[in-house]
Structure 1
Amino acid sequence: MSDTAQRLLRLLSLLQTPRDWSGPELAERLGVTPRTVRNDVERLRGLGYPVRGIRGVTGGYRLGPGAEVPPLLLDDDEAVAVAVGLRVGATQGAVTGLEEAALRALTKLEQMLPSRLRRRVHGLRASLAPLPQPGPLVDADTLTTIAAAVRDHERLRFDYTGHDGSAALREAEPHRLAHGRGRWYLVGWDVARSDWRTFRVDRMRLRTPNGPRFTPREHPGGDLVGHVATGLATATWRCRARVTVRAPAQHVRDRLPPGVPVEPLGEDACVAEVGSDTPHMLACHLGLLDADFEVTGPPELVARIGVLAERYRRAVPEQAADQPSRRAPAEGAAVRKTGGRQPFAS
Structure 2
Amino acid sequence: MANTSHRALRLLSLLGSGRVWPLRELAARLEASERTVRRDIETLRGLDYSIATVHGPDGGYRLGSGNTLPPLLFDHDQALAVAVALQTAPSTMFGLGDDASRALSTLHQVMPPALRASMESLRLTRLRNYWEFPGPPIDPEALTAVGTAVRRRRVLTAEILRPDGSRPHPGDADFQPAHRIEPHHLVVWAARWYLVAYDRTDSQWRVHRVDRLRPRPTTARFAAREFPVDDLAQFVMGTHDRGDSPEEWPCTGSARLNLPAEVVARWAPGGSVVEHLDGQHSRLTLGAWSWAGIAGILATFDAEMTDVRPVELGEACRRLAQRWVKIEAE
Aligned pair 1:293/2:304, yes or no?
A: yes
Aligned pair 1:194/2:193, yes or no?
A: no
What is the CA deviation profile of residues 267-319 of structure 1, one whole-angstrom value per residue up to 9, with x for unaligned ones? xxxx65232169xx999845764578352xxxxx46745x7668999x9xxxx
Aligned pair 1:224/2:224, yes or no?
A: no
Whichever residue aligns with residue 244 of structure 1, its letter is N
Task: Tell me the distance in 2 between the aligned counterparts of 1:326 and 1:32.
Answer: 71
State which of 90, 93, 96 in structure 1 corresponds to 2:91: 93
State which of 257, 273, 279 in structure 2 corresponds to 1:243: 257
Structure 1 contact 244–272 (Cα < 8 Å) conserved: yes
Unmatched segments (≥5 aa) in structure 2 = 28-33, 169-174, 247-252, 275-279
Shift of 1:189: 1.5
Task: Tell me the distance in 1 between the aligned counterparts of 2:22 and 2:234.
Answer: 40
Aligned pair 1:275/2:281, yes or no?
A: no
Q: 1:174 to 1:100 in 2, by over 3 A?
A: same
Task: Tell me the distance in 2 between the aligned counterparts of 1:311 and 1:240.
Answer: 13
Task: Tell me the distance in 2 between the aligned counterparts of 1:227 and 1:13.
Answer: 35
Shift of 1:219: 2.2
> What's the % identity of the aligned pairs?
30
Task: Tell me the distance in 1 between the aligned counterparts of 2:218 and 2:324.
Answer: 68
Aligned pair 1:128/2:136, yes or no?
A: no
Task: Tell me the distance in 2 between the aligned counterparts of 1:162 and 1:308.
Answer: 27
Task: Tell me the distance in 2 between the aligned counterparts of 1:294 and 1:33.
Answer: 66
Q: 1:52 to 1:232 in 2, by over 3 A?
A: farther
Residue equivalent to 1:264: none
Whichever residue aligns with residue 63 of structure 2, its letter is R
Q: CA RMSD in A?
A: 5.2
Structure 1 contact 255–289 (Cα < 8 Å) conserved: no
Residue equivalent to 1:103: 101
SS at match of 1:95: coil
Q: 1:69 to 1:207 in 2, by over 3 A?
A: farther
Residue equivalent to 1:151: 151
Task: Tell me the distance in 1 between the aligned counterparts of 2:2 and 2:148.
Answer: 42
Structure 1 contact 236–277 (Cα < 8 Å) conserved: no
What is the CA deviation profile of residues 152-188 of structure 1, one whole-angstrom value per residue up to 9, with x for unaligned ones? 3332222222459435211112122223455322121
SS at match of 1:137: coil
Aligned pairs for 1:16-27 (under 5 A) are 16-20=16-20
Residue equivalent to 1:336: none
SS at match of 1:209: strand
Q: 1:54 to 1:117 in 2, by over 3 A?
A: same
Higher relative contact order (CA 8 A, sep 6+): 2
Structure 2 contact 154–221 (Cα < 8 Å) conserved: yes
Whichever residue aligns with residue 159 of structure 1, its letter is E
TM-score by length of 1: 0.59
Task: Tell me the distance in 2 between the aligned counterparts of 1:282 and 1:173.
Answer: 41
Structure 2 contact 86–104 (Cα < 8 Å) conserved: yes
Structure 1 contact 177–187 (Cα < 8 Å) conserved: yes
Q: 1:148 to 1:161 in 2, by over 3 A?
A: same
Q: 1:108 to 1:154 in 2, by over 3 A?
A: same
What is the CA deviation profile of residues 27-81 of structure 1, one whole-angstrom value per residue up to 9, with x for unaligned ones? 94445498755322x2x5xxxxxx5768999997525577x87423333332212
SS at match of 2:154: coil
Unmatched segments (≥5 aa) in structure 1 = 45-50, 262-270, 296-300, 316-324, 332-346
Task: Tell me the distance in 2 between the aligned counterparts of 1:9 and 1:224.
Answer: 36
Task: Tell me the distance in 2 between the aligned counterparts of 1:208 and 1:175.
Answer: 14
What is the CA deviation profile of residues 71-102 of structure 1, one whole-angstrom value per residue up to 9, with x for unaligned ones? 2333333221211111223xx42223544442
SS at match of 2:220: coil
Q: Which moved more, 1:56-65 or 1:126-135?
A: 56-65
State which of 199, 210, 213 in structure 2 corresponds to 1:204: 213
Aligned pairs for 1:48-63 (under 5 A) are 51=50, 62=63
| Count of matched residue pairs | 285
Structure 1 contact 159–168 (Cα < 8 Å) conserved: yes
Residue equivalent to 1:214: 223
Q: 1:12 to 1:195 in 2, by over 3 A?
A: same
Task: Tell me the distance in 2 between the aligned counterparts of 1:12 and 1:191.
Answer: 45
Task: Tell me the distance in 1 between the aligned counterparts of 2:22 and 2:258.
Answer: 62
Shift of 1:193: 1.4
Aligned pairs for 1:319-338 (under 5 A) are 328-329=325-326
Which of these two proteins has the greater Rg computed from alpha carbons? 1
Whichever residue aligns with residue 62 of structure 1, its letter is L
